[in-house]
Structure 1
Amino acid sequence: MKLPLAIGLLFLSYSTLAQRFPRNEFSINGFRNPSIGLEYRRGPVSAHAGYYITSFTAGITTQFAKTGLTYWFLPVGQRENPSSFYASMSYLRGLNRDYERQNAASAEVGFRWIVWRGLNLRLGVIALASAGQDLKINPTPGISYSFHW
């Protein structure tokens, strides 16, 4: 009996959140979070793909191709497209340095602030894991412009 109740609560939570966000959103991401690329959101779930750069050591840039899913929650404010918190899981493929041709996975949490119309800023933290490498934790700032309908 507990499983149907949990599924019902999850569905109710999802449908309630979906009502607070615009039905569709397309974002052009210009900096690191989630990547330099594109993102499509439907309700509280989005998919992204692009080019991700980070610096695990000062002055050394590591590059990845990145794709993943994001769940948006706890919308803030009364705007048509509210600011909100997010949690994301991604697959990364290393393009250079110690990660070249290596697979990696990441988990990220943060907050997206809708500054003005479609302009938004993100601030998060990412945990990146790859076989043979230490777990890396880094801040992930970002800037994007979004169109919603």
Structure 2
Amino acid sequence: MSQPISELEYAAQLEQAIAVLRQDLPTLFAQNISYDIYSQDIFFRDPVNTFKGKFNYRIVFWTLRFHGRLFFTELYFDVHQVYPTSENTIRADWTVRGTLRLPWKPKLLFNGYSVYTLNAEALIYQHIDTWDRPPGEILAQFWQKG
């Protein structure tokens, strides 16, 4: 078990996590993110997935990049803001938008936010995503003309 860190070190690491998220999130469909700010036992949940562990977390981001390149001609993760909401919580507000690789070029667009919670070592141990509509409504966009 790690030694507890001081309040000053914790605050510095919280700011570092915010800086890394601001840098990584906008390019998550194009390149790998930094995993140094996450705990080994990170818990992730969004409206379609729930899992635990850094290995699974890495797989989800690899899958996003793979499917993004396979199914979309354009795909963006627009980050509007990343900010602390408490001494151990960070929120990121974002929009996913893209164009599917189909003859009628349907557009994908939805908004959401991510809440990241840090543990005593100032590592992110929980990442919860909330979307602005149910997954079925998002998938229905695939059948609309672009």
Using the size of structure 1 for normalisation, the TM-score is 0.37
The structure that is strand-richer by fraction is 1
Using the size of structure 2 for normalisation, the TM-score is 0.37
The higher relative CO (CA closer than 8 Å, separation ≥ 6) is in 2
